[in-house]
Amino acid sequence: MAVGSDSSSYKQVTLGDKWDVIVIGSGIGGLTAATLLSGYGGKRVLVLERHYAMGGFTHTFNRPGYEWDVGLHYIGHVQDETSGVRRAFDHVTEGKVRWNAMPEVYDRIIVNGQTFDLTRGLEQYREGMKRYFPSEGRAIDKYIAAVQSSNRAAGLYYAEKAVPALISRIAGGLMRAPFLRWAKRTTGEVLQDLTSNRELIGVLTGQWGDYGLPPAQSSFGIHATIAGHYFDGGSYPVGGASSIAAAIVPAIERNGGRVITGAEVANILVDGEKATGVKMADGREFLAPIVISDAGAANTFQKLLPGEMTCLSSLRVGLRSIPASVAHLGLYVGIKAIDANLGLNGTNLWIYSSLDHDANVARFANDIDSPFASLYISFLSAKDPDFANRYPGRSTVEVLTFVPFEAFARLRFLRRTTRTK
């Protein structure tokens, strides 16, 4: 299901100048804010998306005969219609997105010919790990208990963000503290307290690519969030990842709003310390008493807001102190064959040269000609039962790997040099 046609392109539409709310960016956060303000707040919301397709990391792209997703590869908890995740999705999509359960083995870790299957269902996962590591049963039980404890504590941590300011001032510290005790420790530190078995630690952290940092660098609180999210397996939206945005947009437009692609915002307009609208790259201005940015903190505070806003000085200093996220490379493969003939059933593959993820990352950072630190392989066509209807006789494969940002520094320098000539 393609999302973002010419009918919603900035160059092709007629728009009024005044709106109740302007949202910059149509990622899942921007669209969620827009549909809640529209459907439940009665606001006319204008969503401005710079890309040619809406949806952020839920959008898909295609070439003749093929389609690939760019960020959403699997979601946990959505098969249970009573879960908070499923209810949240149903709330913003009006229940229009259908979900296809992935195979029982949703993730497979492959290391030098060895395979470790991550199996749907907490007890199946627990027993599977104990079969691989029969002498580590106690450590595996403690690991699962730690993940569950962290995730229970996270509920209070996030609830503190939503309670009234007075309650937050009085009880906020107590609400945050249990989760922060987990979150302030690295994944490696927590697991090394549970076991000295390096191979077990490597398997338990084999999904580190889902949050982007190896055990010695990642917060255990984030690791636990992801690991627990998939204990009951994963699912994929029928019709592809772009079906999520496609289900949200009609509710926004039904209430007088618009979601526009190819619409680049140059900066946010302000009066004193209050946002009043946005100025587009072509100079046009749209006005609204509420402006929400889904363009990321760095883009919003360092690029979109005026530099002379002294109230943002300390925040900008803090943002500049945060190092760049790890970069990644993607290979998108289209095959003239069906998944069944290729032996593909939708299981994601995590491939490593060893289970020492930190050593793999350090080695590759020092020598990008050495073997990749990790490879993640996903099969959209095998996860989406509707793919064969849209692209009969075809299959698609996506391969992702992390690459240090520094590896591209020379290209950035060459680009700047070329521009100055």
**Spans of all domains in the chain:** 6-72+241-320, 121-231, 325-420
pLDDT tens for the chain, 421 residues long, are 444 444 589 999 999 999 999 999 999 999 999 999 998 889 999 999 999 999 999 999 999 999 999 999 999 999 999 999 999 999 999 999 999 999 999 999 999 989 999 999 999 999 999 999 999 999 999 999 999 999 999 999 999 999 999 999 999 999 999 999 999 999 999 999 999 999 999 999 999 999 999 999 999 999 999 999 999 999 999 999 999 999 999 999 999 999 999 999 999 999 988 999 999 999 999 999 999 999 999 999 999 998 888 788 888 889 888 887 888 899 999 999 999 999 999 999 999 999 999 999 999 999 988 999 999 999 999 999 999 999 999 999 999 999 988 777 767 655 555 554 5
pTM score: 0.90
- Could you give the strand order of the β-sheet that contains 327-335, starting from the edge strand earlier in sequence? 114-119, 105-111, 348-352, 375-378, 395-403, 327-335
- Could you tell me which residues are beta bridge partners of residue 115? 110
Q: Exposure of 410 by Cβ count < 10 A (0-12 exposed, 13-18 middle, 19+ buried)?
A: exposed
**Comparing C-alpha atoms, which of 206, 143, 186, 219 is closest to residue 354?**
206
What's the CA gap between 302 and 198, in Å, rounded?
A: 42
CATH class of domain segment(s) 6-72+241-320: alpha beta
